[in-house]
């Protein structure tokens, strides 16, 4: 399984955010997207998640399920935790489990945990029957993270995944992410933190020094390593 992006261009609000972007990410590897504020990291993740349409280019998951879109292979862990405040914590997870079809593929054995089990592992088991509105910012973030485990999907798209997490939760998140890679999953994450993901490459997005009309590959650096 590998994720392929070729000549990707995305426009938002009538303005080209990036163009000429390409990478190949094989199963079991992470791609860390870096770059200054506003350069397009979240936009790239939202495009991969099917939330923003690309203006140009190709996105494909080779070895994926041909009956599903790329977005249906992915969990998107974005800035907004997308937690339903009126539902209990457990109801949020049960909804997500029932709403999100699991994806199982040769070479990918994603962890599937029962909602109560992952809540316990993330240290918020005691909140299971509370309305999600009562959770603190860090607890809400952990609930959003719990969703990745109730329905296995190979591609994790993670936007600033460590935000609002304390040091212990950050270390646990890193262990989960490395576990997902060891299971044959793929991770693309935008972060300003130095996450010790292994193996990982870096995709650096740089602000264009000229108005982008078409190809802007000069503004994109893919660096392998961190293995």
Ligand X SMILES: Nc1ncnc2c1ncn2[C@@H]1O[C@H](COP(=O)(O)OP(=O)(O)OP(=O)(O)O)[C@@H](O)[C@H]1O
35 sits near ligand X (criterion: CB under 6 A): yes
Q: Which residues pair with 200 in a beta bridge?
A: 30
Q: Tell which residue, 54, 71, 119, 69, has the closest CA to residue 93.
A: 119
Pick the stretch among 12-20, 130-138, 162-170, 216-224 that binds ligand X (CB under 6 A). Answer: 12-20
Contact present, 20 and 45 (Cβ < 8 Å): no
Q: Tell which residue, 13, 107, 118, has the closest CA to residue 63.
A: 107
Strand order, beta sheet including 220-223: 74-77, 155-159, 186-190, 30-34, 200-205, 220-223
User: By rule CB under 6 A, what string of x and - marks binding of each residue 180-219 to ligand X?
Assistant: ----------x-----------------------------
Work out which of 3, 8, 17, 150 binds ligand X, going by CB under 6 A.
17
Q: Which is nearer to ligand X, 1 or 32 (CB)?
A: 32
Residue nearest to ligand X (CB): 13
List interacting residues with ligand X (CB under 6 A).
Answer: 12-13, 17, 35, 37-43, 190
């Amino acid at each position: 399984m590998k994720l392929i992006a070729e000549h990707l261009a995305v426009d938002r609000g009538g303005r080209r955010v990036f163009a000429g972007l390409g990478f190949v990410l094989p199963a079991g590897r992470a791609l860390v997207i870096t770059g200054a504020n506003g350069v397009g990291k979240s936009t790239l993740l939202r495009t991969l998640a099917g939330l923003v349409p690309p203006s140009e280019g190709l996105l494909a998951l080779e070895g994926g399920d041909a009956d599903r879109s790329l977005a249906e292979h992915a969990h998107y862990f974005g800035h907004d935790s997308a937690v339903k405040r009126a539902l209990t914590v457990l109801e949020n997870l049960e909804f997500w489990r029932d709403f999100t079809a699991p994806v199982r593929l040769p070479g990918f054995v994603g962890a599937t945990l029962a909602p109560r089990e992952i809540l316990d592992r993330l240290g918020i088991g005691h909140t299971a029957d509370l309305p999600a509105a009562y959770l603190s910012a860090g607890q809400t973030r952990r609930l959003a993270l719990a969703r990745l485990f109730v329905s296995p999907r190979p591609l994790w798209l993670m936007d600033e995944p460590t935000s609002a997490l304390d040091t212990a939760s950050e270390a646990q998140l890193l262990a989960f992410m490395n576990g997902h890679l060891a299971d044959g999953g793929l991770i693309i994450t935008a972060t300003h933190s130095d996450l010790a993901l292994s193996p990982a490459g870096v995709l650096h997005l740089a602000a264009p020094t000229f108005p982008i009309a078409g190809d802007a590959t000069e503004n994109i650096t893919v660096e392998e390593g961190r293995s």
